Amino acid sequence: MSEVRTDVRYTASHEWVRLEDDGTVTVGISDHAQGLLGDIVFVELPEVDAEFSAEDACCVVESVKAASDIYMPINGEIVDTNNALVDEPDIINSSPYDDGWIFRIKPVDEEDIEQLMDASTYEAEIADE
């Protein structure tokens, strides 16, 4: 079964979100999501400095099967992207919560994270699928 990390929060569209010590927020996709997508072959990263609202499509992950949008989990500005994914996009398959992180944001309000699902809620959510 897919791993659900307990130290991050989740969106209904399967992004995970982690608040870092410096106040930035790291975003990736869950182990469950990478399993659904299958072998990932291309990532179109967002532009650094771009601003998005929560639930905006901001990035695209393509597997052999299909292209899937990645959604902004909370309002914020992109401050960094994981450039290792340009040449090795399948890191998302092998390490979705660590080396396969996708981008970092500076949140408009870090309290927004509290609105997202905790691990047990997310686990129940994907069990129903």
Partner 1 sequence: MSQKTALYEKHLQSNGKIVDFAGWQMPINYGSQIEEHHQVRRDAGMFDVSHMTVVDISGDAVTPFLQYLLANDVAKLKQSGKALYSCMLNENGGVIDDLIVYYMNDDWFRMVVNAGTRDKDLAWINQQAAKFNVAIKERDDLAMIAVQGPRGREKALQVLPLDVSQAAADLERFFGADSGEWFVGRTGYTGEDGFEIMLPESEAAEFWDSLIEAGVRPCGLGARDTLRLEAGMNLYGTDMDETTSPLISGLGWTIAWQPAERNFIGRSVIEAEKNKGPQQKLVGLVLEDKGVLRGHQKVIVDGQGEGEVTSGTFSPTLKQAVALARVPVGTGEYCKVDIRGKLLSARVVKPVFVRDGQSCID
Minimum CB separation from partner 1 for residue 40, in Å? 10
| CB contact set of 50 (below 8 Å; sequence gap of 6+) | 58, 77, 78
Please identify, using beta-carbon distances, which residue of 41 and 108 lies nearer to partner 1. Answer: 41
Binders of partner 1 among residues 22 to 51 (CB under 8 A) are 38-39, 41-42, 44
Minimum CB separation from partner 1 for residue 41, in Å? 4
Element (H, E) at 125: helix 119-127
Count the site residues for partner 1 by CB under 8 A. 12
3-class DSSP assignment, residue 46: coil
Dihedral (C-alpha) 30, 89, 81, 44: value to the nearest 10 degrees?
Answer: -100
Structure tokens at 2: 């897919």
Binders of partner 1 among residues 62 to 81 (CB under 8 A) are 62, 64-67
Binders of partner 1 among residues 70 to 129 (CB under 8 A) are 86
Question: Nearest 5°: phi and psi at 86?
Answer: -60, -45
Structure tokens at 117: 């699902």
Please identify, using beta-carbon distances, which residue of 12 and 67 lies nearer to partner 1. Answer: 67
Please identify, using beta-carbon distances, which residue of 64 and 127 lies nearer to partner 1. Answer: 64
Contact residues for partner 1, defined by CB under 8 A? 38-39, 41-42, 44, 60, 62, 64-67, 86
